Amino acid sequence: MTRFVLGQNQYGKAENRVVKITRDGDTHHIKDLNVSVALSGDMEEVHRSGSNANVLPTDTTKNTVFAFAKEHGIESAEDLGVKLARHFVDNNEPIHRARIRVEEYSWERIETSKGGARFVGSEEIAHSFVRKGQETRVAQITYDGHGVQVLSGFKDLTVLNSTSSEFFGFLKDKYTTLQEDYDRILATTVSTWWRHNWDGVDSHAPDWDRSYAGVRKHALQAFAETYSYSLQQTLFEMGVRVLNSRDEVDEIRFSMPNKHHFRSDLSPFGIDNEAKDGAVYYAADRPYGLIEATILRDGAEQLIPVDMTNL
């Protein structure tokens, strides 16, 4: 008789939108998260017979996320994720592994006018916010009862260099039509994950917010300061700068589409359109080149899954 084997499986409650307001007198602070929980363990029987004896309801995982946000607060996406992952595994015997994924949406305060408000106390407004339109911060925490793996990152951060970028000397065949370019726009939307070397055994966790700010700063500085002959070269320099500057990071992976800007052909109108004179470009939406790579410390193991960033 043919026997079928249950492969990798997990379950949980995805995309729990959690907004936590912390009040410090009249000054309010906001944390806006999207939290997804995935659990795995002794789940053979529920798949074969439907017995739910080892199943913690997904509704319970949702309730836990909101309860932890209230009881423990949200110091950072990583901190909340570590607490949740450990709770699910350490307090539920059939559950052997928990993976928590978090997206964090940033807000900044609205600067109010001087004397223009119309209610008492309005001159000290500290509770109005506007959603930041830059990147989305992300985190993934995995705990198996022994060690913690923390991945941090961001996605959808669009950056552009209007010069200091070339692309020439590339491989050509009979289908190649692209012209070499010695002064081009380099634009991309950066998505990245990096792996911390903290494994949860040492009680001293990194300062997650400081670490995030540092990685972001050094990656962007490298993008701005690298004279680029290829997007691959720029990507690699961004990773090297991060690893050189942040001791708590052992591995970083980037996914960077090349947002092509092509010079418009204005020659039919007798108009030169050279970069040195301030060219006019059209921004191509798709298709686009997609450049991806992982940069590691020498001797470090590559552990960030490739499919977390690629198409």
At residue 163, the pLDDT reads 95
pLDDT in tens, 101-117: 999 999 998 887 765 55
pLDDT of residue 288 exceeding 90: yes
Q: How far, in Å, are 24, 116, 223, 227, 310 from residue 278 at the CA level?
A: 50, 42, 22, 19, 34
Consult the annotation and say whether 184 binds a ligand.
yes
Dihedral angle of Cα 266, 269, 270, 275, to the nearest 10 degrees: -20
User: Given pLDDT bands bounded at 50, 70 and 90, which one contains residue 125?
Assistant: low
Which positions ≥6 away from 64 have C-beta within 8 Å? 37, 84, 87, 88
Which residue in this structure is represented by tokens 């607490």?
83
The dotted CATH code for 154-310 is 3.10.270.10
**pTM of this structure:** 0.92
User: According to the model, what pLDDT value does residue 1 have?
Assistant: 76
CB of 12 within 8 A of CB of 38? yes
Residue 238's pLDDT band (boundaries 50, 70, 90)? very high
Asked whether residue 167 is marked as a ligand-binding residue, the answer is: yes
Cβ pair 261, 283 in contact under 8 A? yes
163 touches 182 (CB < 8 A): no
Cβ count within 10 A of residue 94: 15
Report whether 197 belongs to an annotated binding site.
Answer: no
% of the chain with per-residue pLDDT over 90: 86
Q: What is the mean pLDDT of the chain?
A: 93
| 58 has binding-site annotation | yes
**Between 242 and 132, the higher pLDDT residue:** 242
Q: Considering only 55-64, 120-129, 243-252, 258-267, which range has the smallest mean pLDDT? A: 120-129
pLDDT for residue 248 is more than 90: yes
Q: Which of 273, 104, 256 is nearest to 192 (CA)?
A: 256
At residue 119, the pLDDT reads 46
**Confidence category of residue 311, pLDDT binned at 50, 70, 90:** low
- 8 marked among binding-site residues: no
Letter string b/e over residues 202-235, b meaning 16 or more CB atoms within 10 A of that residue's CB? eeebbebeebbebbbebbeebbeebebebbbebb
- Kindly state the greatest CA–CA separation across the chain: 82
Rounded to a whole number of angstroms, the distance between the first and last alpha carbons of the chain is 39
Kindly state the helix (H) or strand (E) to which residue 65 belongs, with its residue range: helix 58-71
What are the structure tokens assigned to 54, written together?
């080892």
Which band of pLDDT confidence, cut at 50, 70 and 90, is reported for residue 241? very high
Torsion-angle region of 212 (φ positive above 0: left; ψ -120 to 50: alpha; else: beta):
alpha
Domain limits, CATH 3.10.270.10, in the chain: 9-146, 154-310
Give the active site residues: 13, 58, 260
Q: What is the pLDDT of residue 122?
A: 47
- For domain 9-146, give the CATH number: 3.10.270.10
User: Would the annotation count 119 as a binding residue?
Assistant: no
CB-based contact 261:187 (threshold 8 Å): yes
Evaluate if residue 124 carries a pLDDT over 80.
no
pLDDT per position as a tens digit, 10-39: 999 999 999 999 999 988 999 999 999 999
Question: How far is residue 221 from each of residues 208, 216, 237, 238, measured CA to CA in Å?
Answer: 20, 9, 10, 8
- pLDDT at residue 123 in the model: 54
